[in-house]
């Protein structure tokens, strides 16, 4: 396994949750970056040097001295928590020479009880940090947005193919992660002495791969193009970990 700081960042997150460090939006309109800002504070707590990606860049944070990146996904609970939109890249565990991790955090959807005269602050309910390969292990696909011209009555309208990927979250893929914090890494990662394994997780490659799609503008029908997956049935093994200070509730695949 490569060197990683995911264990340090995970410990920073669970310590902050335990100590009651809340999410504090910069404004009432801050619905996109509030959890990202909370995670940025956790990176600062570790003392690691990092760079912040620009808007719509991938991933959100890049470590400076280590080829490792972190993409942040905040989820309102209850609400849309079973999947998330990926606009800038298909989730993967390796991108541009960096190992990629995802930080998923759920926070209350109803903030009524967390409002005060000075604003609103609310907790992180539960959290999962997972290696990107747990979501998709294809490192070869290159995300690009394309366009075609010549559409419309006068032929001067452009159609932009801006792909959005809708991806299951670890909360949808596993049991035992609700209400707790969990770290999911490939099984070849060495478990530090202050961590325990609470589950062995396996994802199996599908029989067919989607390699393209066609959209008929006259019928509004989409047709996918598929091929046989040469790696069909191949298993990718992961392990769910927690710090020794946490509960050892088991994590399994749904």
CB atoms near residue 230 (< 10 Å):
8
The pTM of this model reads: 0.92
Burial degree of 149 (CB within 10 A; 0-12, 13-18, 19+): exposed
Condensed to tens digits (0 to 9), the pLDDT of residues 43-60 reads 999 999 999 977 667 899
Q: Among 52, 34, 30, which residue's Cα sits nearest to residue 43?
A: 52
The pLDDT, as a whole number, for residue 155 is: 87
Cα distance between residue 144 and residue 7, in whole Å: 32
The pLDDT, as a whole number, for residue 190 is: 95
The pLDDT, as a whole number, for residue 123 is: 94
Take residue 14 and report the two structure tokens written for it.
Answer: 């669970």
Cα distance between residue 123 and residue 105, in whole Å: 10
Length of the chain: 254
Q: Which residues of the chain have pLDDT under 70?
A: 1-2, 27-32, 55-56
Cα distance between residue 190 and residue 194, in whole Å: 12
Cα distance between residue 184 and residue 7, in whole Å: 10
In contact, 106 and 75? CB cutoff 8 Å: yes
The pLDDT, as a whole number, for residue 31 is: 59
The pLDDT, as a whole number, for residue 27 is: 64
Q: Please state the three-class secondary structure of 101-158 as a single string.
A: EEEEEEEECCCHHHEECCEECECCCEEEEEEHHHCCCCCCCCCCCEEEEEECCCCCEE
Take residue 53 and report the two structure tokens written for it.
Answer: 């990606």
Cα distance between residue 228 and residue 208, in whole Å: 5
Boundaries of every domain in the chain: 6-204+235-253
Condensed to tens digits (0 to 9), the pLDDT of residues 211-229 reads 999 999 899 999 999 999 9
- φ/ψ of residue 197, rounded to 5: -85, 125
Tokens 């998330």 — which residue? 84
């Amino acid at each position: 396994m490569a060197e990683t700081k995911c264990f340090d960042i995970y410990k920073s997150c669970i310590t902050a949750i335990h100590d009651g460090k809340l999410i504090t939006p910069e404004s009432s309109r801050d619905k996109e970056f509030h959890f990202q800002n909370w995670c940025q504070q956790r990176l600062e707590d570790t003392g690691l040097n990092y760079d912040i990606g620009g808007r719509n860049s991938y991933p959100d944070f890049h470590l400076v001295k280590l080829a490792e990146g972190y993409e942040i996904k905040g989820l309102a609970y209850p609400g849309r928590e079973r999947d998330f939109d990926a606009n800038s890249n298909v989730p993967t565990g390796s991108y541009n020479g960096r190992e990629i991790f995802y930080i998923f955090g759920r926070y209350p959807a109803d903030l009524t009880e967390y409002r005060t005269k000075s604003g609103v602050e609310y907790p992180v309910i539960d959290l999962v940090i997972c290696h990107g390969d747990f979501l998709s292990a294809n490192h070869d696909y290159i995300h690009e947005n394309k366009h075609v011209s010549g559409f419309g009555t006068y032929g001067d309208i452009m159609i932009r193919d801006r792909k959005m990927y809708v991806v299951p979250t670890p909360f949808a893929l596993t049991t035992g992660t609700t209400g707790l914090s969990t770290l999911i890494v490939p099984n070849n990662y060495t478990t530090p002495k202050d961590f325990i394994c609470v589950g062995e997780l396996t994802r199996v490659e599908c029989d067919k791969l989607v390699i393209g799609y066609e959209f008929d503008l006259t019928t509004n029908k989409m047709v996918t193009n598929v091929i046989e997956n040469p790696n069909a049935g191949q298993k990718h093994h992961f392990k769910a970990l927690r710090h020794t200070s946490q509960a050892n509730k088991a994590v399994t695949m749904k």
